[in-house]
Structure 1
Amino acid sequence: MLQDDDIAQSIDQWLSELTEKQPEVVIRRFGLRGHESSTLEDVGLEIGLTRERVRQIQVEGLKRLREILEKNGLSSESLFQ
C-alpha cells in the first residue's frame, strides 16, 4: 500500500498521462490540487463545455486512470484501504 505522500505524487504522475482536457476535468470534479469538487455543470461553465461533454471526458479520464493503475499492479481499492 502506498503512503499519503506517495499517493499524491503518484496521482500527479497518473494525471499527467491523461490527454487534453481529461486532467482538468478530473481535478475539478474531484477537488484535487487545491480545487473544490465541482458539479458537471459547474466544471462545464468554468472550462467552456457542456455538462454532457464534461461527463464524457470524465468517463474517458477515469477509464484511462483505471488502465494506468492496472498497468502498475494497483486498483483504486488498494490505494485507499
Structure 2
Amino acid sequence: MPTTLSSKGQVTIPKQIREALGLATGCAVDFAVNREGDVIIKKASPNPGSIPDRFEAARGKADVKWRTDDLMTLLRGEN
C-alpha cells in the first residue's frame, strides 16, 4: 500500500492498517525500525505510572447543566 510523504513528513495510514491496529483519531502510535530496515508501527500502550492528562480525566464529569446567563451572573456576583 504505497502512500506519499508530505512536505511536513506526514503520511496517511491506510484505513485497512488503522482498522487492523484499532487506531482512531487521537490514538498514540509507536514507530520502530527493525534490523532489515522495515518500519514497525503499533498502537502505543499507556505508560504504567504515567500522570494522566488532568483535562482528559475531567472531561464529561460535570453533572450540573448551567445556562450561560445563570453561570455568568454567578461568576460576576450580580444579583
Shorter-chain TM band: under 0.3
Structure showing the higher helix proportion among its residues: 1
TM-score after normalising by structure 2: 0.22
TM-score after normalising by structure 1: 0.22
Structure showing the higher strand proportion among its residues: 2
